[in-house]
Amino acid sequence: MRAMTEATLYGLCSAALVGVGLFGLIMHPQPLRKILAFNLIGGGVFLLFGAVARRGAAAGLGGDPVPQALVITGLVVAFAATALAVALLLRLFQETGRATLGSDG
């Protein structure tokens, strides 16, 4: 068992976040809550990248800049996807007056 570093600690935290977010994604009937939960999973995955980047600290840098840059790209794309999902949901509500994904619709 290696000594607990902050990279390992936040890596384990990211694993737990992915699980919590996945639970919300499966269990919540409201699409907006699913979008929220999906973003929670996203935060966990990005944090995993952060832990990996931190372990790659070298050459006077506190972390490997390549996974860090990937996370910045990822955050922007996640935002764009969230905005599209929210727009689809609001349009669904506007058309049908409902905002759930129940089987009776």
What does the per-residue mask of binding to other proteins show for 60-99, with x meaning CB under 8 A? xxxxxxx-xxxxxx-xxxxxxxxxx-xxxxxx-x---xxx
Distance CA 83, CA 13 (A): 26
Min. distance of Cβ 59 from other proteins in angstroms?
4
Q: Is 52 in the site for other proteins (CB under 8 A)?
A: yes
38 near other proteins (CB under 8 A): no
14 binds other proteins (CB under 8 A): yes
105 lines the binding site for other proteins (CB under 8 A): no
DSSP state of 60: T
Question: Rounded to the nearest 5°, which phi and psi values hold at 46?
Answer: -60, -40
Please answer whether residues 60 and 20 qualify as being in contact, where contact means their C-beta atoms are separated by less than 8 angstroms: no
Distance in Å, CB of 101 to other proteins, minimum: 10
Displacement of CA 75 from its chain's centroid (Å): 9
